[in-house]
Each structure stands twice: as structure tokens, then as C-alpha cells.
Amino acid sequence: MSVIVRDDGFHAEDWVGEITEVPADTAIAAVAGLAAAGQGGMLRVAFPSFADGRGFTLGRRLRDAGFTGRLRAAGPVLADQYAMARRSGFDEVEIPDDLAARQPEDQWLFRADWREGSYRARLQG
Amino acid sequence: MYKYSDFDTAFVRERARQFRAQVERRLDGSLTEDEFRPLRLMNGVYLQLHAYMLRIAIPYGTISAPQMRQLAMIADTWDKGYGHFTTRQNIQFNWPKLVDIPDIIDALADVEMHAIQTSGNTIRNVTTDAFAGAAADEVADPRPIAELIRQWSTDHPEFQFLPRKFKFAITGSPADRAAIRVHDVGLQVVEKGGQRGVRVYVGGGLGRTPMIGQLLRDFLPEADLLPYFEAIVSTYNLMGRRDNKYKARIKITVFENGIDAFREQVEAEFVRTRAEFTGVDQQILKEIEAEFAPPAFKNDPVDAFEAAKAVDPLFRRWSARNLTAHRVENHAIVTVSLKEHGKTPGDASSAQMRILADLAERYAYGELRVSHEQNIVLPHVAKADLPALFAELLRAGLATPNIGLVSDIIACPGMDYCALATARSIPVAEEIATHFKEIGLEDEVGKMQIKISGCINACGHHHIGHIGILGLDRAGVENYQITLGGDEGPAAAIGDKTGPGFAYDEVVPAIERILRAYLDLRAGADEAFIDTFRRLGAAPFKEALYGVSRDAA
């Protein structure tokens, strides 16, 4: 089982539509096709480990390729990475139950202020 | 000098608050050691051989007198009264306690400093020429661009978990005193048709697979800097190898895919990233540039300087070694050596830091630099003030006249501190420096860069030393491999391995054989070792090291 994290805290799975999986080793050339194929549904980008940051760039690229549906980061992502995921275009993060138990909701809400203090956003304008 | 904006101040304060919470969450078990590791690293905290180590950023090597004093305070309050300046223009404290580090980070924020991204698989402190903004030979001060990169890369959401660390270096001078060709991305400020921009090199690096960076873009206009850098790093984030940490640096990505295929990906990606930036970054760059306006230089005549040189041989000698031409005729750039013979290269005591801060305020418009050669630079000093400055440096034991000589050695911390090291570096540096001074060969040899690493990771840059020394472990015994002919700057080259290594106590005699061979072979006193090496190749030096028979074999 897993827990869905959003800006207002923990949720149980509540998605009922189509889910297209995006593996962490997705080729650069495949991004546009995935963005189109997933349109209207959810794209779930795999984070095999918290140390693997490919998913952040994949999220940004999927958004730039025009994907407007639900974008989810799924894997053992740390509460400290929540802001990175949101800033890279993800709507939510899906984490395993044991991680949610060890890093409870307040540790994720600590970074619900991810819109504040982003150099990257400030420089983009 | 750059002053923090309200945004910068709020950022470092908030980041300090986050790090304090992370330390607490490590202690209460919310974070495992594996999970805490990248978080502490991206805040500059290493676990070393004997203790935690804190690496503090000195962005592009520029530091003010009050900031230097704060480092002295930190050294006295939380460490052992000294710090170590590094080849990447950072300072390291070797003995802090983990629970004290959040307080140290707060003390840094008090003076507009931080330890962010001095480690981890992130974009690291941007390094540059220690003479930036002062050198007579530069196209433009590269520090505004370095500061723009600092802001863009700080906490960049996509680039905190890259395949491996990522280092930018930038020079504003064709003389390249920032070793840009051995960085992941190397930038040279250039002008083309009246337009300012940069030349971009990619894929340089040292470590166990040394490579010289290749040309990625001959001219990148200033307006495109951030979108283009974002295209490079984002391409690397997806293309870089994650299966083997020794093949994860961008130099391997570029090497395995080829520069043309890599460039093609970057240029395609650049179309996407270019569209994201609205141009606000250019406005911010303009504001940053204004912050780097030079001080109002004094108009004092140089007579006293010339007169002191004529009568004082010590001052004359120091002036010849430690001064560099300033872009303003009646000023000079002063390099203060942290390489006193027999001492640890790059170390400074808190007392020395305070003296340097005081002298910077009195004689150098309050500004100091940390050079990648691990010395301290006072970038703007009126020549009229040099005799008084020299007298004070002499009293403080900071007037060693050895810049660019045999004893101006770059050395990594080695086995005395580092968890990765396989051999000692510091004692080798100390013995070389002391020996050649004692036998009086240092001045005769002249220009020479010796660089020492205590393991294959090459933090001491041995590959690009005119003489490089690499300390290895051979079945539990230290063994030192010597390379010759390496160089940084415009003629960057990886040194050649000479042959079998030397035992610890054979290193100094081996170096002496090389130096004596050079003195016999050089075309004249003005032909530096590296030029003699380029003229004659490695053979005569190998012969001096190993004898004729091995060379013939």
C-alpha cells in the first residue's frame, strides 16, 4: 500500500482513471510520445530511489511537452524532496507506507511552502 | 562586492532552518543514515576519517574582511582554531560536532555566507580566477556570471540528485587562471562583434579518468546563459550513467556518446529551455553586475614603492614573487602565501585570518580572495601602501616570497584527514618545500607547479602539475607515482606517468633528480621547467629518475 502526499497532507489513493507508467530510464526521445499518450489521465513517474534524480527532469520535460493531466512522482522520495517534485511540475507524490510512518505528515507539510524561496522560479520570471 | 538581496537573506535563513530540522530528524530516526547522507552533503557536511568536516562556500573565491573574521570566530568557537582553504575556493573545518553545525550555518548566514552545495551530487561552488576584476589582461570580470550561476544552481529542483557532482569554472581572461579545461563545464568570457558572451567547454575533469574539456559552443550570447546551462545539465541528468559511480561524471557521458551526439542533444534541449526563460534573468544579471563595480581606486603616487624596492632586498624579493599586474597602473594584486615552508599548504589559523581581514580593510578596500592554488589574494592594493603592508605581513609570518615556486604546492588533505586517501600528502609537501629551500635550489629553479594527491580521486590536481605526485597504497605501503608535463590554463595537458612509483622516503630525492636534470638541460634561466619539458619530452627526465637502462628498455 502507499500514501499520496499533496500540499494539504496525506491522502489514501483516490485516483480512479487511467495511469500511464513512466520508467526512470525513459529515453529523451520518448518523452513527447508519453506526454501525448497520457493526456487526460495520469502519468506516474518512477523514482527507484531517493538518490535517483532523473524523475525531476522527466517531470519538467513532460510538462514542457504539453502534458496537463495529473503528474505523480512514485517511489521512496524523502519529505525533503517534496518541494523539488512540486517545482519540477508534479502534482503529488506517492510513497510507501513504511516511509510515511517514519516521516509523518508534519515533515511533508514543512515543505508545503514550496512556492516560496525558489531561485529557479525567480530567474525564469 | 556582491551584497545579498532580501531574497538571498531569506533563502539562507530558511535553508539553515531546514538543515537544523534535518539534523533533528536524523537524531530521532525519521531519516536513516543513508537518507540523511545526501542531505548533509548538499549542506557541506562530510563524515571524514576522524570527525565530521564542514566545507563552506566562498563563492568565486571572493570574501570580505568581516566574513573572514567570522570564519576566524567559527574556527575558535566550534573547531580547533584553524581552517583549510581548498583548490575549489572553499574553506574546510575538520573538527566540528554534528550538533553544532546548525549553529555554524546560522553564524554563516549572519555574514551572507553558506555551505550549500559544497558537496553532494549537485552543482558545486562556481570557481574563477582569483584575480578577477583586478587583472590587467581580462575581457570582463567573470564574477557577475558566476553569481548568476550560483543563484540559478542553488536548490535547483531538478539538479539536487544528479548522477554525480558537477563543477563550473569561469575565467574572464585568455590566460585562464581558473583551470576551466578540467571542469565539467568551463567558461571563458569572450566578445564577438561587440557582443558579450562565453565560450563553453564540457567534459573536462581529473579524478581516476583525467580528461581535457572539449569545445561545446564557441560563442554563447550572454542572454542565453541560463537556458543553455540548463540544457547541458538536464541532458546530463538523463544521459549520465548511474550504474557505476566511477563512470557517472559528464566527462564519461561526453566521451561515450561523442561530443557531436552530446551537442546535438543539448541543442535540441536548448530549444525547450530557451522558451522557459522570460528574460528576467538578464535584468537580475544587470543588477548583479552593478554590485561588482570596482572600488574608488586611490590616486597615490608610486615613488615610495620604487624607493622601498631599491633599498630593501627582502621587499624587493617579495615584490618580484608575490605581485601581479593590476589593471590600474598605480595598484598591484598581492598574493599572500599560505605555503610557509614546512607548514600545511592552505591552512590558516584564526589569528592569521583576523590579521588578513584587518590588512584587507586597511590596504585593500576590504576585499580578499581565495585562490585555487590555496593562497589568499588581496586583489586591489595601491603600490604606495605595499611597503607598509609587507612590513605587517612579515611580522605576522605571512610574507613567504614563494608564489609560483617549488614550495607553492597544491596538496589535498591526504591520509591525515581524508577517509578516501590512500597515502599522506601534507607531509610530502612539507618535506619538499623544506628540502629545496635548505639546499638553496628554489629560486634557481623558478617557475614550477608541484601538485600532490593522496589518492586516485586527484583532489590535489596532480594530473595538471608540472610535476604531479600521486600517493597510492601498494599492499599496505605508501607508494608515490610521479607524472611530468601536466599543465592548467590555455595549454592544459594531462601529465605523463614516468614509470614505477617511489617509496615515501624516496620522493624528495626523486624530485631533486628531476629538478637537477632540468637545470642541466634548460636553454637558459628564463626557460621554465614546463617549457624545457615540452621542448625535450619526457625521456631525459625519465633517465634522471630511473637511469639509462630502464629508459632504453
Q: What are the residue boundaries of the structural domains of chain A, listed by start? A: 2-8+20-112
What pLDDT sits at residue B549?
Answer: 55
| C-alpha gyration radius of chain A | 14
Mean pLDDT for A56-70 is 97
For B379-437, the pLDDT digits (tens) are: 999 999 999 999 999 999 999 999 999 999 999 989 988 889 999 999 999 999 999 99
Q: What is the mean pLDDT of each run of 10 residues along chain B (553 residues)?
A: 97 97 96 96 90 95 98 98 95 94 97 98 97 96 98 98 98 96 98 96 95 98 98 97 96 98 97 96 97 96 96 97 97 97 93 98 98 96 98 96 96 89 95 96 95 95 97 95 96 95 97 98 96 97 84 43
- Put simply, the answer to whether B234 touches A57 (Cβ < 8 Å) is yes
CATH fold for the domain made of A2-8+20-112:
Rossmann fold (3.40.50)
The rounded distance, in Å, linking the Cα atoms of A100 and B407 is 56
What pLDDT sits at residue B159?
Answer: 98
Positive or negative, the CA dihedral B345, B349, B354, B358 is negative
Q: Could you tell me how many CB contacts below 8 A there are between chain A and chain B? A: 108
What pLDDT sits at residue B454?
Answer: 96
For A75-86, the pLDDT digits (tens) are: 999 999 999 999
Mean pLDDT across chain A, nearest whole number?
A: 97
Tell whether the model's pLDDT for residue A88 goes beyond 90. Answer: yes
- Assessment of whether the complete model's pTM goes beyond 0.90: yes
Interface test with A, best of B26, B34, B238 (most A CBs within 10 A): B238
Chain A: nearest CA to B66, how far in angstroms? 26
Interface of B with A (CB under 8 A): 7, 10-11, 14, 18, 21-22, 25, 29-31, 35, 38-39, 121, 148, 151-152, 154-162, 226, 234-235, 237-239, 242, 265, 269, 272, 275-281, 284
Domains in chain B, please, with CATH? Answer: 6-110 (3.30.70), 134-291 (3.30.413.10), 303-395 (3.90.480.20), 410-552 (3.30.413.10)
Chain A: nearest CA to B62, how far in angstroms? 21
What pLDDT sits at residue B416?
Answer: 86
Residues of A in contact with B14 (CB under 8 A): 116-117
Mean pLDDT for A90-118 is 97
Q: Is residue A1 very low, low, confident or very high in pLDDT (cuts 50, 70, 90)?
A: confident
- Report yes or no: B453 and B469 within 8 Å, Cβ to Cβ: yes
Tell whether the model's pLDDT for residue A41 goes beyond 80. Answer: yes
The angle at the Cα of B72, spanning B155 to B117, to the nearest 5 degrees, equals 15
Task: Name the residue facing A51 among B29, B38, B276 (closest C-beta).
Answer: B38
The rounded distance, in Å, linking the Cα atoms of B389 and B385 is 6
- Report yes or no: B450 and B462 within 8 Å, Cβ to Cβ: no
Spatial CB neighbours of B293, under 8 Å, sequence gap ≥ 6: none
